Amino acid sequence: MLSSGVISASERPSAMDFPARIAAIAAIHQPSGKPFFQRLKALPPSIAADPMMLGELYLIYQAAMHATRAAVYYLPHLDSPAMRKRKLQIFIDDDGLPGGDTHHYQLTRAFKNMGALCPIGDEDFGDADELVDHLDPATAEFVQLAKTLYARSLGPWCIVETMSDDWMRALADALSVHFPNITKEPYFADCFSQGVEERHAEEAIAVTQLVLERRPELLAQTIEDAQTMARALDGVWVVMDQIVKATIAKHENAHAT
């Protein structure tokens, strides 16, 4: 049994167990249960609209999302024609939207429409080794791990895709209290209406299970890397929560003087 995110050395899971293993990791690290989302939702309107806070939240969130989108291009074990065809659809959903749009650009517009002062431009989200210079240690760790682990096994991809719908809905729910039109932004509306993240999760699990059935020796590393990625993502929500708490303190101090 999986508990506390750690696999016993005595266990010998099979490819058939893989979906349940990923589901168990996702349950342990469920993003919507993190304090950040409730704290953001409960903010007074004046603090929720703070342009600097929104910009800092944007930087951390966009950096983490960018890292995973970029890392998908280096996924291993999916080089056959059939697998490349399936992988291409993931690329298209993220980076091949109608009119030359991408999820990255959609997210930037959503935050700017809320009044965020974005600290860096879209094209500054490039190589992980350069991006980390703009980030705190926890987010930098996530960005670097995504680059490393996505290229090593399919586990990190599976766990991120499995949890992404959960955190996107939690983020949209929290922001919509302060910005009612946020759920109409294409970044959220398109994904929710088309079930993009849920479809990606199902596809990631399906193709990974096919790989593991052919190469069962990859299973332990795949699960271990999924756990590592999930723990690193926990750190991203902690950083975003710290940003919110620091902004609350800043506004309280300003009113006290």
The answer, yes or no, to whether residue 91 has pLDDT greater than 90, is no
Residue 21's nearest CA partner among 34, 33, 12 is: 12
Q: In whole angstroms, what is the distance from residue 67 CA to residue 251 CA? A: 32
> Other CB atoms closer than 10 Å to residue 13's CB: what's the count?
17
Q: Look up the pTM and report it.
A: 0.91
Instruction: Kindly indicate whether the domain formed by 48-251 is annotated with CATH number 1.20.910.10.
Output: yes
For the chain, the structural domain boundaries read 48-251
Q: Which two tokens stand for residue 129?
A: 């080794």
Write out pLDDT tens, residues 113-129: 999 999 999 999 999 99
Q: For position 257, what pLDDT does the model report?
A: 65
Mean pLDDT value of segment 218-231: 97
Residue 5's nearest CA partner among 208, 158, 220, 231 is: 231
Mean pLDDT value of segment 143-166: 97
Could you give the percent of the chain with pLDDT greater than 70?
95
The answer, yes or no, to whether residue 180 has pLDDT greater than 60, is yes
Q: Which of 14-23, 73-82, 153-162, 193-202 has the highest mean pLDDT?
A: 153-162
Q: In whole angstroms, what is the distance from residue 229 CA to residue 158 CA? A: 10
Q: For position 252, what pLDDT does the model report?
A: 85
* Helices 51-71 and 137-150, packing angle to 10 deg: 20
Write out pLDDT tens, residues 243-257: 999 999 999 888 776
Backbone phi, psi, residue 51, to 5°? -60, -35
